[in-house]
Amino acid sequence: MSQSNQNMASKYFRTIAERRIKDGEVEFDRVSLSLDDSEWNKGYLKALEGLLITFRTNNSKNLYLQRKELEDQKMRKKFKEELKKHSNNELHADYDRGFFSALLDYFTVTEQGKSRRRSKEA
Domain spans in the chain, listed from the N-terminal domain onward: 3-121
> Is 59 a residue whose pLDDT tops 90?
no
* 61-70: b (≥16 Cβ within 10 Å) or e: eeeeeeeeeb
Asked whether 100 and 83 are in contact (CB, 8 A), the reply is yes
Sign of CA dihedral 26, 27, 28, 29: positive
- Band of residue 86 on the pLDDT scale cut at 50, 70, 90: very high
pLDDT at 40: 95
Question: Distances in Å between the alpha carbon of 59 and those of 2, 81, 116?
Answer: 32, 25, 27
SS3 64: coil
pTM given for the model: 0.82
The secondary structure of the chain in percent helix, strand, coil, rounded to multiples of 5, reads 80, 0, 20
CB 32 within 8 A of CB 41: no
Identity at 102, one-letter amino acid code:
A
Q: Are 32 and 12 in contact (CB under 8 A)?
A: no
* Higher pLDDT among residues 67 and 34, named by residue: 34
